[in-house]
Structure 1
Amino acid sequence: MIDDRELPATDLIGKRLVQVTASWHHYSDDEPTLLHLWLHLEGLGPVLFHTPGIGLSLRVDQPHGPYAMAEYGNVSVVIDSPGLPLTRFIGQPVRSVREIGYNDGRVDFTAGLTLHFPGGSVRLLGLDDDLVIAHDRQLGAVEAHLHEDVSLARVVQTCGAHPSQWDAWTSGGRYLYLRYRHGEGTVEQHPSEDTDTWDGEESRLWTSWDDGTNGGRIDLADFLAMAGLRLAPDAEGRAISPKTDRKG
């Protein structure tokens, strides 16, 4: 399947990584640099990650063969390169996708994505027309300008079990609905806690996983660890009378 339309990053959630393909620049004696990246995902096919200038663009597309262009020099295409941090996650599903913002006081844009797998996470960034994969490595001075809205400033528990669920607000002001039932945990972003606002374009899935227990109760700390979220140091938290499961 080939589709020139932009692919929403949320479409990656829950899809299992089956293969990684990368194309590399080769300029004379310089170290090769990454040009394009394809993540082959079960149910989607190969998803091309590339940068149109700043930020990332995603679409379903087939990898091309090796080629030479005056603009790029020689380009090689490598499958499951052992030097790519992503290859260690082959066989694992994408648990969550987070946007990475860049703000240096002059420009503010979405620079890339953090993909979370059961075995860890990796950052994919589009900076100055370069595609960058950052696993454990820091990116120098640019690191201070990168941020993810994953810190919770306020959490309200609305049901203790079957499901365990919370209303939560990030430090950036986003409302999140946290839910755990039948062993499945989900994080959804919505305009507000009013369920009448949940059907619009501003609603999206942040995280989904299944721990295989079929359980209906989980502590907040364990849920946040699985979801890749954290409490802000001065976070507010409380429990209120249980509400009806909003998902039925």
Structure 2
Amino acid sequence: MTDDDEPYLSDLLGKQLMGATLSQAGPGGSPSCLVLHTEGQGPVSLQPHGATLSLTAAVLPADGTPAAEDGRDNAMARFTGSPIRSVREIRHRHDGVDRVAGLTFHFPGGNVRVLALDGALVLAHDQHLGPVEAHLYEDVTLARVVRTCLASPSQWDAWTTEGQYLYFRYRHGEGTVEQHPSADTDTWDGEESRLWTLWEDGTDDGEIALPDFLALAGLRLAPDAEVSVLSSWQGREVKVGWPTPDA
């Protein structure tokens, strides 16, 4: 990626985090930006612009060295050497306003949230941020899941409690979660489609149980979620119990 390329969240998926640098403190004492270095990818910068978080190609000094650290604890740097499984939006909902406030980065060993709060860059790892938590939301709870392939590869159609359609697939040890406008594949080529999650488990397997897939993908079922299997030879869905290794 060159400095002129616009990075996408999907560009980071599956990449190993090689380093994460917090810049020197900005206004109010908060770090001004976070630069991520990933394997095979140019550096990207995350920085607050008012109430939103921007993702841009990072411009490094001519000698290629990163900006100086600001000396504080860097939650992202704890995951150096780990692959990025997913990057998902964090929304802030309050007083009728719904906006993207940040991103959650998922690694095999945990998560890091990067947020723009009151114009400041905030990093949180296994940390409650106080009263603002009541207004932060991630669309990761599933209301309905339908298994669409009973053999290899393991595949499901899923819908979140917010109505977002997701396509799950697991083949040759690789799991993916894709976001699309609907289950109709004719709608899958637009700007509303993107890769949510990507991981490899080091096997060549083509089958995985739904509970294991969800755990690796960082997703969860709603308490009243409907889980079913599409029986193609009968042309109908069959509801199943939860949990079940065949779901």
Q: Shorter-chain TM-score: what band?
A: 0.7 to 0.9
Deviation at 1:6, TM superposition (A): 4.3
| C-alpha contact 1:4 1:59 (8 A) present in aligned 2 | no
Q: Which of the numbers 30, 48, 56 marks the counterpart of 1:59?
A: 56
| C-alpha contact 1:2 1:62 (8 A) present in aligned 2 | no
Q: Which of the numbers 225, 238, 245 marks the counterpart of 2:228?
A: 238
1:71 is matched with none
1:72 is matched with none
Deviation at 1:64, TM superposition (A): 5.2
1:17 aligned onto 2:14: no
Q: 1: distance between equivalents of 2:229 and 2:171?
A: 18
Deviation at 1:242, TM superposition (A): 4.4
2:129 is matched with 139
Q: Structure 2: which amino acid aligns with 1:44?
A: Q
Q: 1: distance between equivalents of 2:97 and 2:124?
A: 21
1:148 is matched with 138
1:128 aligned onto 2:118: yes
> Could you give the per-residue CA deviations for residues 181-219 of structure 1, whole angstroms, max 9, x where no partner exists?
111100001111111111121111000111011101100
2:182 is matched with 192
Q: TM-score, normalised by structure 1?
A: 0.86
Deviation at 1:11, TM superposition (A): 1.7
Q: Stretches of 4+ moved more than 4 A in 1?
A: none
Question: How many pairs were matched up?
Answer: 229
Q: 2: distance between equivalents of 1:77 and 1:101?
A: 30
Q: Provide structure 1 residue ranges, at least 5 long, that are not aligned to the other structure.
A: 66-75, 244-248
Q: Structure 1: which amino acid aligns with 2:33?
A: H
> Could you give the per-residue CA deviations for residues 103-131 of structure 1, whole angstroms, max 9, x where no partner exists?
01232100000000111110000112101
1:50 aligned onto 2:40: no
Q: Structure 1: which amino acid aligns with 2:106?
A: H
- Within 5 A, what are the aligned runs for 1:1-248? 2-3=2-3, 6-25=6-25, 32-63=29-60, 77-78=68-69, 83-242=73-232
Deviation at 1:148, TM superposition (A): 0.2
Q: Structure 1: which amino acid aligns with 2:69?
A: V
Q: 2: distance between equivalents of 1:130 and 1:5?
A: 25
2:236 is matched with none
Deviation at 1:145, TM superposition (A): 0.2
Identity across matched positions, percent: 59
Q: TM-score, normalised by structure 2?
A: 0.86
